[in-house]
């Protein structure tokens, strides 16, 4: 996949094992942001969070029901999206859907269209599974 961001030279591609250290660090920043917004709901990151999050994403790389894309610019990862085809979820009271679990853009690259590019690509990747709904739930 070689989607271009017109304003910049960012390209989207599937994540690979070599990306996991950066993605683990981004995941820790995402967790930190969630915790800052609602410390009672979201766990606090620790020094082990980047490695643990990288390990989790590693377990998702080979799954046929997940989407894990990175935005790359000048050989640097500037964002990622993690989404999955989910079945019935009675806790969320919804049927099968494509669920965007994570969407993160490097703070220095925000407000430049990278997040929109990642989100649109994730939704397109979920469509072939015949999903009629996509869910994105920001922290509350």
- H/E stretch holding 57 reads helix 49-61
pLDDT digits (tens, 9 = 90+) for 41-95: 888 888 999 999 999 999 999 998 899 999 999 889 999 999 988 888 888 787 7
Residue 91 has a pLDDT of 83
* Token pair 């304003």: residue: 7
Decide if pLDDT at 4 tops 50. no
Nearby residues of 41 by Cβ (< 8 Å), 6 or more positions away: 34, 139, 140
As a whole number of angstroms, the distance between CA 94 and CA 108 comes to 35
Contact 114, 121 (CB under 8 A): no
pLDDT digits (tens, 9 = 90+) for 118-138: 999 998 888 877 666 555 555
This prediction's pTM: 0.83
The 10 Å Cβ neighbour count of residue 92 is: 12
Full DSSP string of 1-44: ---B-TTS--EEEE--GGGHHHHHHHHHHHHHHHHHH-TTTSPP
């Amino acid at each position: 996949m070689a989607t271009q961001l017109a304003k910049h030279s960012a390209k989207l591609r599937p994540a690979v094992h070599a990306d996991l250290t950066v993605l683990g660090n981004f995941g820790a920043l995402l967790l930190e942001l969630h915790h800052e917004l609602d410390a009672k709901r979201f766990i606090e990151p620790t020094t082990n969070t980047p490695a643990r999050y990288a390990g989790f994403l590693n377990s998702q790389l080979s799954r046929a029901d997940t989407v894990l894309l990175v935005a790359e610019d000048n050989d640097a990862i500037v964002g990622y999206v993690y989404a999955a085809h989910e079945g019935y979820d009675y806790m969320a009271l919804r049927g099968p859907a494509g669920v965007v679990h994570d969407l993160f853009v490097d703070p220095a690259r925000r407000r430049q269209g990278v997040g929109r590019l990642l989100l649109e690509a994730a939704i397109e990747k979920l469509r072939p599974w015949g999903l009629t709904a996509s869910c994105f739930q920001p922290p509350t």
